[in-house]
Amino acid sequence: MNTLHTLNALLKHIKETFIGKNEIVDLLGISLLARENAFLLGPPGTAKSAIVRALSNGIEDGKNFEYLLTRFTEPNEIFGPFDIRKLKDGELVTNTEAMMPEASMVFLDEIFNANSAILNSLLMALNEKIFRRGKETKKLPALMFVGASNLLPEDEALNALLDRFLLRVKCDYVDPDLLNEVLLAGWKLENKTDETTPTIKADEVRELQAATRKVDLSPIRKEYVDLIHSLRNAGINVSDRRAVKIQNLIAASAFICGRDTAILSDLWVLKYIWDTEEQVEVLEGIVNHVIEKDTSEKAHPQAVYNKVPDAEEVMKEVKYLSEKWNDGTLSFEEQNIIKDKLRYVQTRCDWIKNPEQKKYIQEEIEQLWQKMLKTFA
């Protein structure tokens, strides 16, 4: 477990450097252990690149590859150019030195600028950790891929790219109350006054990734299956492939806490599998409702941190569901999905701190339930 202690020390150091970013750092740590890809969504200036760079720099003897994609990015800029010497002999061989196919940590900024010329190779690299170009096939040593963007894709062709990132994390500006600490930590980082950065070797990370796969998930298997059904009923797309891969995240949550067996609270990672920003609140309501039943003292810190819902966002969701119900053209299945969503919105409402806002939203929810009852009367 010494190497696990080293990894946790690295993550702790990054959290101390980037104040208010514990959630992002913890999730990157989970993704790294699970060897799954992570996607960061947020506006410029929210330290997305800096955090990933700090994690990459903390991995000794590993090669890092970082690139800002544009619509004009060519395959050579990502995968490497063709070897001119071998091209003269009629062989198409890529010179991958210092390029993505040789990197341990890969960070692709503005990932949705990827054009069709590099999309297929990129999809295979993300999904199967394999680089294929013409007759060339090469296993990638990448410990993890991280993608980032200011916006979610609007082009349906790019949805396949988002699907390759199992974890999705929103990066916002830090709480104003933490600004003073942010300034101090930022000044320290700019002036490089801290030289004691913990590091871990790439091969040690690979050993931890292999050990993570041995975590026993049987104690929470039934609850996990039930939760997947609940998410699907709420209209959140969880394919069988994603359901299988999410188990790696659950195992990583247990392993990073020093456990070889998963507990109920390890299901917290499912809060970060959203496809749209509208799903964030719904996922939190569904998942928190399940994991709050776990009273274990060995739970991951993020599992016991329930965000207080924004009253305005909850009210928007209630109005949206009300408008959908009033549409009058819903199928029986669509009606059930709306009812499931309303139940979880109702659960989130219970956590609103302002009593007046809570009472008002509860009354709106009750009115919608009454409408639904009349429909079936």
Mean pLDDT, rounded, for 158-171: 93
- Look up the CATH number of the domain holding residue 155: 3.40.50.300
For residues 181 and 69, state if they share a domain: yes
Distances (CA, A) of 217 to 35, 40, 356: 17, 27, 42
324 and 295 part of one domain: no
Give residue 88's pLDDT band: very low, low, confident or very high (50, 70, 90): low
pLDDT number for residue 139: 92
Grouping H, G, I as helix, E, B as strand and the rest as coil, residue 192 is coil
Are the C-beta atoms of 266 and 303 separated by less than 8 Å? yes
Whether 135 and 251 map to the same domain: the answer is no
Q: Given pLDDT bands bounded at 50, 70 and 90, which one contains residue 94?
A: confident
- Percent pLDDT > 90 in the chain is 52
d(CA 268, CA 262): 12
Instruction: Give the pLDDT score at 179.
Output: 66
pLDDT higher for 195 or 208?
Answer: 208
Classify residue 203: in a domain, yes or no.
no
The DSSP string of 293-350 is: T---TTS-GGGG-PPPPPHHHHHHHHHHHHHHHHTS---HHHHHHHHHHHHHHHHHHT
Is there a single domain that holds both residue 353 and residue 254? no
Residue 176 domain boundaries: 2-190
Residue 340's pLDDT is what?
Answer: 80
* 279: in domain: yes
Please check whether residue 371 lies inside any domain of the structure.
Answer: yes
Continuous segment of H or E residues that includes residue 283? helix 279-291
**DSSP-derived secondary structure for 74-141:** -HHHHH--B-HHHHTTT---B--TTSGGG-SEEEEETGGG--HHHHHHHHHHHHHSEEEETTEEEE--
Query: Residue 89 falls within a domain, yes or no?
Result: yes
Q: Which residue has the higher pLDDT, 301 or 90?
A: 301
Please identify, among 300, 330, 348, the residue that sits at the C-terminal boundary of a domain: 300
What number of other Cβ atoms are within 10 A of residue 351's Cβ? 15
What CA–CA distance (Å, rounded) separates 346 from 364?
10
Q: Which residues pair with 138 in a beta bridge?
A: 131
Within a domain: residue 38?
yes
SS3 assignment, position 201: strand
Residue 11 sits in the same domain as residue 144: yes
pTM beyond 0.75: the answer is: yes
Asked whether residue 7 falls in the same domain as residue 99, the answer is yes
Same domain, 11 and 143: yes
Give the integer Cα–Cα distance in Å for 271 and 273.
Answer: 6
User: What single-letter amino acid sits at 144?
Assistant: M
Considering the chain, what is the average pLDDT of its residues? 88
The pLDDT of residue 248 is above 60 = yes
The reported pLDDT for the residue numbered 112 is 94
Same domain, 148 and 296: no
Q: Of 268, 300, 332, which residue constitutes the final position of a domain?
A: 300
- 281: CB partners within 8 A, 6+ apart: 309, 310, 313, 314, 317, 345, 348
Name which of 265, 263, 217 is nearest 243 in CA terms: 217
- On whether residue 196 sits in a domain, the answer given is no
CA distance 271 to 281: 9
**What pLDDT does 194 receive?**
55
Q: Kindly state whether residue 18 falls inside one of the protein's structural domains.
A: yes
Domain end call among 300, 321, 348: 300
Name residue 278's beta-bridge partners: none
Residue 53 CB burial class (10 angstroms; 0-12, 13-18, ≥19): middle
* Residue 112 and residue 167 share a domain: yes
Strands of the 64-68 sheet, one edge to the other: 64-68, 105-109, 144-149, 38-41, 167-170
Residues 238 and 267 in one domain: yes
The half-sphere exposure of 304 on its side-chain side, counting CA atoms within 13 A, is: 9
DSSP labels, 129-182:
SEEEETTEEEE---SEEEEEESS---SGGGHHHHHT-SEEEE--PPPGGGHHHH
Q: What whole-number percentage of the chain has pLDDT above 70?
A: 92
Give the span between the Cα atoms of 126 and 110, in whole angstroms.
15
CA distance 126 to 131: 9
What is the tens place of the pLDDT at every residue in 122-132?
A: 999 999 999 88
For residue 299, pLDDT beyond 70: yes
Q: How far apart are CA 272 and CA 236, in angstroms?
A: 12
On whether residue 270 sits in a domain, the answer given is: yes
Statement to judge: residues 260 and 357 lie in one domain: no
61-65, 135-139, 348-352: which has the minimum mean pLDDT? 348-352
Say if residue 111 is in the same domain as residue 58. yes
Q: What is the pLDDT of residues 215-230, one digit of tens each?
A: 999 999 999 999 999 9
User: What's the domain count of the chain?
Assistant: 3
Buried b / exposed e over 228-265, threshold 16 CB at 10 Å, is bebbebbebebeeeebebbbbbbbbbbbbbebeebbbb
* Contact between 238 and 231 (Cβ < 8 Å): yes
